[in-house]
A and B are shown apart, each in its own frame.
Chain A
Amino acid sequence: MMKKLWGIWLMLPLLAWAQAQPLGDDPAVEARLKALSTELRCLVCQNQTLADSTAPLAEDLRREIRELIAKGMSDKEITEYLVARYGDFVRYRPPVKAQTMLLWVGPSVLLVGGLAGLWLALRRRNQILVDDNDEEGEEA
């Protein structure tokens, strides 16, 4: 029954098989906008990128970025412009600076430290087990 109804629907729009237009005019601009906006935060949303958000403010900001791209600004300049206006909060990739040093070096420190600690622990363990064997024979 639904199907039939939709069949009528199909006929309604004058059978015009027009090709739909992309929202943006220039695919190259859209690609850059997409890349940029996936790294930017939608400021009125809970926790969403500018690319994903459907909030009106996000729509406005995307339009503005399109204009900035049209003006010939580079991605870096656009990001700097937005950071100047909204602060680092707008970037999902935090900038590397004094306050975020720990954030960026932390993972490597954890990994190297963890593996080094493991290596030392294993070496000591084998040492102890060898000593035990010397004294008491086969350990349990």
Chain B
Amino acid sequence: MIPELGHFALILALLLATTQAGFSLVGAARGNELWMTAGVSAARGQFFFIGIGFLSLAYAFYSNDFSVLYVASNSNSALPVQYRLAALWGGHEGSMLLWATTLALWTVAVTVFSRHLPPVFKARLLGTMGLISIGFLLFILLSSNPFERLIPAAMDGRDLNPLLQDPGMVFHPPVLYMGYVGFSVAFGFAIAALLGGELSPEWARWTRTWTTVAWMFLTVGIAFGSKWAYYELGWGGWWFWDAVENASFMPWLVGTALIHSLAVTEKRDAFKLWTVLLAIFAFSLSLLGTFLVRSGVLTSVHAFATDPRRGLFILGFLALVIGGALTLFALRAPKVGLGGKFGMVSRESMLLTNNVIMVVAAGVVMLGTLYPLFLDALGLGKISVGPPYFDTVFVPVMMPAIFLMGLAIFARWKNAALPDLMTRLKWAFGVSVVVALLLPFVMGKWTPMIALGLLMAMWIITTAVVSLRDRLQKREGGMIAALIHLPRAYQGMIVAHLGVAVFIIGVTMVKGYEVEQDMRMSPGDNATVGSYSFHFDGIQDQPGPNYMAAVGHFTATRNGREVAVLEPEKRMYTVQSMPMTEAAISAGLVNDLYVSLGEPVSEQAWAVRIYIKPFVQWIWVGALMMAGGGLLAMLDPRYRRRNKTQQGDNA
């Protein structure tokens, strides 16, 4: 009964989404206030009914209703309750429902927090979001119905893929989707502005807050996923340039460009068309990501060809959304003014250059991700494009962007003098080069890549320090008080940029100085890896809720002092009889100790993989700092003021 209610609720939601889009857009075109108000109510109603649909499915999972096909395929009665609920988005149908629910959540947020928007503009925004919602709800109801019954019901479910039975599964997808789908608000703002034909600095200010929130979610979501891969996949990598990862990274790159471009549009009334285009791109890439991950095209181009219904729907939807947006853009672009004037060397031009580089970087990631699919589809052979390719092409593209990042915060708006910049940054550049050249020697190994990574990180840090010093000199009072009184937006920028530096340090150090040993160990054995010694104390069987585990016990010592106890596991999940490796990690600011159990190699001995991973945590700390910087910038008082006041200075 409840699954049918859920199904019915989704149909009602679709009708309300249609109402929302229709009343809002037509109301805006006719200036009919009643219709526009009706659009707002429909948007809230839509959220209510999608919510019922979502909760119905959650209940089906919670109550182990294996007469629902989707539940039977993705859950099992032995599954712990938190994973039963997370299994909701463990498959295709549920992921789509999560997508639609997230969109409805953002839509309601817009109706609640956008009272200050002009009614016509708000109606166009809600209308656009309604159109997107129609697409997704249609898709769910026509080709991906999660409520489909299984008759007769299964005795028990086929279980959630053991790889996904992890706390990461509970948090990572919703946070990531909040980011992905959040760009639909920026997209809606762009379309509404194009429809109205007006792109004011005010528009940029409204869009900025929403975009920054979505970008923060996406940043945290990606970092979460990376961390999850690090501890769950058993090989200690943190990024594999897998198509699924790339699918989230492309919108992130363009989203990052977008929040910077919005800054210029707000402050200088420039880059207006470019900003709108970026908003369209960011959301389009989110849709493309959904298509890539959800159509089955990644597993096999041919599987996609044999059951193309879902893929074709998403592809058609993608063409409609992107094509429609770009057509509107082409029609309206000539009407939009150019905005403030600026010189070839200025903060504007540098930000714009970095914007272009970020988009190029996203293009490079897209090329590498889609290329093997195209080759295969055209019958030109199967190739693999993996980390060696992406590392080779991505790093050189990003290097100039990092350099400009340090430079741009000093460049003046409108016109900057290069000689002046060079004098001011001599010190920062000198220190960066010296540290980059010498520090690797101190660490015991010098390679060009390590030096380069350190140079980039140091450049960001030293330029940030110089910038802070300049600012603080102008202020009275103590250091801390002066720091706190800096404009929030500026603080946010510095924190986020330092986050990039911290991230680069993490990547450079772990790539350069990681130590790995594959050992053959019997209980009682000792292994020396780097400056650490690992004692294998023994191994013990331990039952889990839905698996059997062999738990190893290792004691790590350094200079004779115990530093960590590590308990890696080898699990056998009973339902799918699938083995899983659970690595044991002792995380630290300077070193992570990582122990992972391989296969038994004899009666007593096990293959054991031990890593020392220096500074690896900095990768995620850096990502969190980027998101934190976004949060700080958003708290800038000027976003909470209704009237036009401009203060602070940032980009």
A interface, CB within 8 angstroms of B: 6, 9-10, 12-24, 30, 34, 38-39, 41, 47-49, 51-54, 59, 87-94, 99-100, 102-103, 106-107, 110-111, 114-115, 117-118, 122-123, 125-126, 128-129, 133, 139-140
Contact = CB atoms under 8 A, between A and B. Distances in A.
A100 B621 CA distance: 37
Nearest to B240: A47
B540 interface: yes
Contact of B384 (A23, A38, A94, A133): A94
A122 B237 CA distance: 42
A39 B388 CA distance: 7
Interface of B: 233-235, 237, 240, 242-243, 337-338, 341, 343-344, 349, 352-353, 356-357, 359-360, 363-364, 367-368, 371, 375, 380-389, 392-393, 396-397, 516-528, 535-538, 540, 553, 555, 565, 581, 598-599, 601, 607-608
Contact of A23 (B341, B371, B518, B535): B518
Contacts of A114: 356-357, 359-360, 363
Given A13-B537, A17-B524, A103-B368, A92 B518 contact: no
Contacts of A107: 360, 364, 367, 393, 396-397
A88 B519 contact: no
Contacts of B518: 22-24, 30
Nearest to B581: A54
Given A20-B520, A22-B519, A93-B386, A12 B538 contact: yes
Contacts of A133: 341
Contacts of B359: 114
A122 B528 CA distance: 59
8 contacts: A12-B538, A13-B522, A47-B386, A89-B383, A103-B368, A103-B389, A122-B349, A129-B338
A59 to B, nearest CB: 7
A115 B388 contact: no
Contacts of B607: 23
Nearest to B385: A94
A21 B146 CA distance: 52
B553 A6 contact: yes
A20 B527 contact: yes
Nearest to A98: B380
Given A52-B237, A102-B371, A59 B599 contact: yes
B12 to A, nearest CB: 39
A112 B333 CA distance: 25
A102 B523 CA distance: 53
A110 B553 contact: no
B235 A52 contact: yes
Given A21-B519, A122-B344, A9 B397 contact: no
A87 B535 CA distance: 42
Contacts of B553: 6, 9
A22 B349 contact: no
Contacts of B526: 17-20
Contact of A92 (B233, B360, B385): B385
Nearest to B358: A114
A65 to B, nearest CB: 14
B367 A103 contact: yes
B360 A111 contact: yes
B11 to A, nearest CB: 36
A116 B234 CA distance: 44
B256 to A, nearest CB: 16
Contacts of B235: 48, 51-54
A38 B356 CA distance: 32
A87 B380 CA distance: 12
Contacts of B565: 6
A118 B274 CA distance: 11
A21 B520 contact: yes
A4 B525 CA distance: 20
Contact of A106 (B367, B396, B524, B599): B367
Nearest to A100: B383
Contacts of B349: 122
B517 A22 contact: yes
Contacts of B363: 110, 114
A39 B517 CA distance: 18
A6 B78 CA distance: 29
Given A21-B520, A23-B607, A54-B599, A92 B387 contact: yes
B378 to A, nearest CB: 9
Contacts of A47: 240, 242-243, 386
Given A18-B522, A38-B388, A126-B343, 10 more contacts: A16-B525, A18-B525, A22-B518, A23-B607, A59-B599, A92-B384, A92-B389, A99-B375, A106-B367, A126-B344
Given A89-B382, A107-B364, A94 B520 contact: no
A9 B537 contact: yes
B384 A90 contact: yes
Contacts of B540: 9
A94 B364 CA distance: 15
Nearest to A115: B356
Contacts of A59: 599
A56 B550 CA distance: 19
A13 B357 CA distance: 58
A10 to B, nearest CB: 5
B386 A92 contact: yes
A19 to B, nearest CB: 6
A87 B352 contact: no
B414 to A, nearest CB: 12
What are the nearest 9 A-B pairs in CB distance? Answer: A92-B386, A13-B524, A52-B235, A93-B388, A20-B525, A13-B523, A20-B527, A107-B393, A23-B518
Contacts of B601: 23
A94 B381 contact: no
A103 B368 CA distance: 7
